[in-house]
């Protein structure tokens, strides 16, 4: 049997432990809510892509992330190797979050501009994912770096989706952002090359579309 004093000490310890746990959880929840509210800012980051159905206004990176995430889910069975579609979708939902700090840079910008953007994005990933509790911070950062490095099948498929969607949008919008920025055929081919080995049928489709775009004058033939 425990003495009264021991029991009292045990109870006090339990209550203390409970309060500490609750405080820790409240602290974690507050971090998570701050991150969720921070995400709102991605809705104000505009890309060069145009939203045809909304008076051709610029597309923002939040709605773009939604769109490619679903695009990946719909097209993932064209991948010749198995992709983990849940991971790919999570990757695509977070891939542009860094733009909250850096803004978007047009995909066909100069090499120097793109390299500078890459450095800025790594800092942004540290700051923004750093708002989260440790485990989620590590998970999301790992996922974001995996996407950026584009070495795994999941990341390469995610990249391919991020690149095929603007092509689909431009093809249904008389060239869209390609025309505005005088983009050429070889740039679009290079940008979509991830598909070649990953999903040959989609690659074939993309090549046909690029040829058609050149014929229509939406892409320069070089």
- Output DSSP code: residue 80: S
Question: Pattern of binders to its own copies over 71-90, x per CB under 8 A?
Answer: x-xxx--x-------x--xx
Sort residue 106 into left (φ over 0), alpha (ψ -120 to 50) or beta. Answer: beta
The phi and psi torsions of 79 (rounded to 5 degrees) equal -70, 135
Question: Pattern of binders to its own copies over 142-181, x per CB under 8 A?
Answer: -----------------------x--xx--x---------
CB of 126 to its own copies, least distance (A): 18
Please give the structure tokens belonging to residue 8.
């009292």
Nearer to its own copies, 76 or 156 (CB): 76
- Output DSSP code: residue 96: T
Question: Pattern of binders to its own copies over 111-140, x per CB under 8 A?
Answer: ---------------------x---x----
Q: Confirm if 18 and 30 have CB atoms less than 8 A apart.
A: no
Q: Confirm if 26 and 7 have CB atoms less than 8 A apart.
A: no
CB of 9 to its own copies, least distance (A): 28
Residues 6+ apart with CB under 8 A from 27: none
Question: Helix, strand, or coil here: 221?
Answer: coil
Nearer to its own copies, 31 or 185 (CB): 31
Residues contributing to the site for its own copies (CB under 8 A): 25, 29, 32-33, 35-37, 39-44, 51-55, 59-60, 62-63, 65-67, 69-71, 73-75, 78, 86, 89-90, 93-94, 132, 136, 165, 168-169, 172, 201-202, 205
């Amino acid at each position: 049997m425990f003495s009264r004093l021991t029991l009292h000490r045990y109870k006090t310890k339990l209550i203390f432990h409970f309060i500490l746990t609750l405080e820790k959880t409240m602290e974690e929840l507050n971090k998570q809510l701050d991150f969720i509210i921070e995400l709102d800012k991605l809705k104000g980051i505009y890309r060069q892509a145009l939203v045809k159905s909304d008076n051709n206004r610029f597309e923002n990176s939040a709605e773009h992330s939604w769109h490619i995430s679903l695009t990946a889910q719909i097209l993932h069975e064209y991948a010749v190797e198995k992709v983990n579609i849940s991971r790919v979708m999570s990757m695509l939902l977070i891939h542009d979050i860094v733009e909250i700090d850096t803004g978007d840079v047009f995909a066909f910008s100069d090499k120097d501009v793109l390299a500078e953007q890459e450095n800025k994005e790594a800092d942004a990933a540290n700051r923004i994912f750093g708002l989260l509790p440790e485990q989620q911070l590590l998970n999301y950062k790992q996922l974001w770096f995996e996407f950026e490095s584009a070495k795994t099948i999941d990341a390469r498929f995610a990249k391919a989706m991020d690149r095929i969607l603007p092509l689909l949008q431009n093809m249904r919008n008389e060239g869209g952002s390609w025309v505005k920025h005088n983009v050429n055929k070889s740039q679009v081919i290079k940008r979509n090359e991830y598909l070649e080995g990953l999903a040959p049928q989609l690659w074939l489709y993309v090549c046909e579309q690029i040829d058609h775009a050149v014929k229509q004058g939406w892409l320069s033939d070089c």
